[in-house]
Amino acid sequence: MVASIYPDYPPALTSEQSDYLFSNVKDWSILNGLAVRPSSSFVSEKIDPSRSLAVTAPVTLFPSLFPRACFQEARAIQTAYNELYACIANDEDWLGEVVKELAEVDDYISNLWNVHQAVKKEGYVQVLQNCSLPLQDYMVHKDPSKPDAEPEIKQVEFNTIASSFGGLSAKVSALHKHLLSISAYPPTTPSLISDTSLPPNPSIASISRGIATAHKAYGRSKNNTQLPLCTLFIVQDPENNAFDQQALATNLLTDHSVLTFRLPFSAVLSHTSIPADSPSRPLIYTPPHSPRTPYEVTTLYFRAGYSPAEYNSPESWKGRLHLERSAAIKCPSILTHLAGSKKIQQILATPSSPHLSHFLSSTSSAACINRIRNTFAAIYPLDDTAEGKHAISIATDTENARGYVLKPQREGGGNNIYELKIPPFIKSLGDNSKKYRGYILMNLIEPPALRNSVFRNGEVRSGEVIGELGVYGVCLWRHCRSEKGEREILENWEAGHLLRTKGRESEEGGVAAGFGAVDSVCLIDV
């Protein structure tokens, strides 16, 4: 554990202060739709067969302290990151090489690539690529061996598909502001929670505007007879976190007059169709509740289909192919989905890698590229290269493994292995060094110690926590398939942020599973 760089926080509360804070969190959250459906372990199906109950989404009672400079840097480089995804997604040759290398260990990536190849062979009908909400995830890192070092942000992962909590995050920021305004946070010396330390968070409005922008860019109905237009959210079923998505759908309707429907990923083939006689391949959605009024889908927003476990039958892959070949703007397309894969992150973050400069040098300054590179935690392959050999020597050494984490290369490939558990794990793989290639070694990010209280499932738990800052981005570009990698960026903006906080004792797990919560930042100059 790294010593805290922050002042004593959060302030201690009397039981009356605690009651006041807690009861206002409970009431404000429900009043403002900051909610989830309770898990079946909290409320059994027998008690609530119609799934009508709701409970406050997992939230922290206090905004977590976060270095102001780190927050500003993460926001500032988001549009350059958006550009980077667009570049990678447009470079099919390069992506093809990566996939070839992975094919042996990762069926999922191969299958995604095959979907793209199949559509490419037939010919894409949609050149607009949308990536409303890639989410850059960072942790604050403070090198434990350098006490005087400034804290900095280090990339944990980047997500180009199904980034969640954008519909809740703005509300948590508003919740913490509300608690401040009703004096639910007792004054501290120095004053930490204040109007200037709680930045605005437009995630709902900004992400919705991203989807609406794609919707508008689609243009008129491409069907032989003009159809009404809609956007379609591809979702999981059941979905406890539907309110997160519904906040975006409601905003699309009220602020942009865009109608949204929700469709489980598993029901794609039964409820959507592409007319066989239409060369422009409009995606037609026929809502079960209104079979005589089909809609044409302008924009597909994936909140499902991102995990290998969801592709459990040939039908799943057929469904994904069906969507990909349609004229709908995909958020994301297969190529953008691939651009967000773990493997790409690993390639970019390998210290000697030339790829980052390769992608950005035509559009970004060397200084900007450097700022992005600075957010990478060093990632090493376990292979025959010089770097790979060095990494293997670390991973097999009980002393040196401290400060590292071993991660599987596969998407959804199981749990990470931390520090001193690495050498015995490597040993358990046996002598076959080919098996090593399924893993990468990464510098462990060391976030400074922090405390907070998390309210979830009706219970408050306090303790040491780790926060992960996500920055949302919206990017819409035109893929000019005639020349390799050529593109035209039409829209590109930073779209709000997300702080996810989890208990320090749990080494993995997000807000939706385990002891994690949606948080907001309380900026501090450290």
Beta carbon nearer to a copy of itself, 182 or 480:
182
Angle at 135 between CA 192 and CA 118, to 5 degrees: 175
Rg of the chain over Cα atoms, rounded to whole angstroms, equals: 23
Q: CB of 287: closest distance to a copy of itself in angstroms? A: 7
Interface residue with a copy of itself among 180, 259, 269, 377 (CB under 8 A) is 259
Binding mask 212-251 for a copy of itself (x = CB under 8 A): ------------------------------xx--xx--x-
Q: CB of 22: closest distance to a copy of itself in angstroms? A: 8
Beta carbon nearer to a copy of itself, 47 or 127:
47
Give, in order, the Cα–Cα distances in Å from 199 to each of 177, 297, 496, 523.
Answer: 9, 35, 10, 8
- Is 513 an interacting residue with respect to a copy of itself (CB under 8 A)? no
β-sheet bridge partners, residue 296? 229, 284
- Is 149 an interacting residue with respect to a copy of itself (CB under 8 A)? no
Task: Give the H or E element holding residue 20.
Answer: helix 15-31
How far apart are alpha carbons 350 and 40 in whole angstroms? 42
- Token pair 């805290």 in the structure block, residue: 4
Interface residue with a copy of itself among 55, 86, 284, 474 (CB under 8 A) is 55
Q: How many residues does the chain have?
A: 526
Rule CB under 8 A: which of 431-470 touch a copy of itself? 455, 457-459
Interface residue with a copy of itself among 30, 103, 127, 366 (CB under 8 A) is 30
Contacts of 106-112 with C-beta under 8 Å, sequence gap 24+, read 106/343, 106/409, 106/410, 106/411, 106/413, 107/308, 108/308, 108/311, 108/410, 108/411, 108/412, 109/338, 109/341, 109/343, 109/411, 111/311, 111/317, 112/320, 112/334, 112/337, 112/338
Angle at 75 between CA 69 and CA 179, to 5 degrees: 75
Specify whether the CB–CB gap between 522 and 66 falls below 8 A.
yes
Q: In 3D, which of 196, 216, 313, 220 has the Cα closest to residue 256? A: 216
Using the rule CB under 8 A, give the single segment among 19-27, 66-74, 113-121, 437-445 that binds a copy of itself. Answer: 19-27
Interface residue with a copy of itself among 6, 9, 28, 404 (CB under 8 A) is 28
- Is 111 an interacting residue with respect to a copy of itself (CB under 8 A)? no
Query: Sign of the C-alpha dihedral, residues 71, 74, 79, 85?
Result: negative
Please tell me the count of residues contacting a copy of itself according to CB under 8 A.
Answer: 51
Q: CB of 250: closest distance to a copy of itself in angstroms? A: 6
Specify whether the CB–CB gap between 307 and 162 falls below 8 A.
no
- Is 287 an interacting residue with respect to a copy of itself (CB under 8 A)? yes
Beta carbon nearer to a copy of itself, 16 or 525:
16
For 298, phi then psi, to 5°, come to: -85, -35
Using the rule CB under 8 A, give the single segment among 50-58, 75-83, 362-370, 378-386 that binds a copy of itself. Answer: 50-58
Q: Beta strand 64-67 with 152-159: parallel, antiparallel or unpaired? A: unpaired
Interface residue with a copy of itself among 21, 229, 329, 526 (CB under 8 A) is 21
- Is 352 an interacting residue with respect to a copy of itself (CB under 8 A)? no
Rule CB under 8 A: which of 177-196 touch a copy of itself? 178, 181-184, 186
**Residue ranges for the binding site for substrate?**
161-164, 239-241, 245, 303-306, 500, 511-512
Q: CB of 47: closest distance to a copy of itself in angstroms? A: 6
Q: CB of 41: closest distance to a copy of itself in angstroms? A: 11
Structure tokens at 5: 């760089």
How far apart are alpha carbons 404 and 445 in whole angstroms? 8
Beta carbon nearer to a copy of itself, 56 or 492:
56
**Residue ranges for the binding site for ATP?**
157, 342, 407-416, 418, 442-445, 468, 502, 508
Beta carbon nearer to a copy of itself, 24 or 223:
24
Beta carbon nearer to a copy of itself, 179 or 348:
179
b/e string for 334-373 if b means 16 or more Cβ within 10 A?
Answer: bbbbbbbbbbbbbbbbbeebebbeebbeeebeeebbeebe
- Is 1 an interacting residue with respect to a copy of itself (CB under 8 A)? no
Q: CB of 113: closest distance to a copy of itself in angstroms? A: 36
Specify whether the CB–CB gap between 163 and 470 falls below 8 A.
yes
Beta carbon nearer to a copy of itself, 71 or 265:
265
- Is 43 an interacting residue with respect to a copy of itself (CB under 8 A)? yes
Beta carbon nearer to a copy of itself, 259 or 512:
259
- Is 270 an interacting residue with respect to a copy of itself (CB under 8 A)? no
Structure tokens at 147: 């006490």
Q: What is the largest CA-CA distance in the chain?
A: 71
Using the rule CB under 8 A, give the single segment among 36-44, 74-82, 343-351, 466-474 that binds a copy of itself. Answer: 36-44
Give, in order, the Cα–Cα distances in Å from 315 to each of 117, 161, 301, 319.
Answer: 18, 20, 19, 6
Q: CB of 271: closest distance to a copy of itself in angstroms? A: 11
Beta carbon nearer to a copy of itself, 250 or 316:
250
Beta carbon nearer to a copy of itself, 14 or 482:
14
**What is the binding site for a copy of itself (CB under 8 A)?**
14, 16-17, 19-22, 26-28, 30-33, 35, 38, 42-43, 47-56, 178, 181-184, 186, 242-243, 246-247, 250, 253, 259, 287-291, 293, 455, 457-459
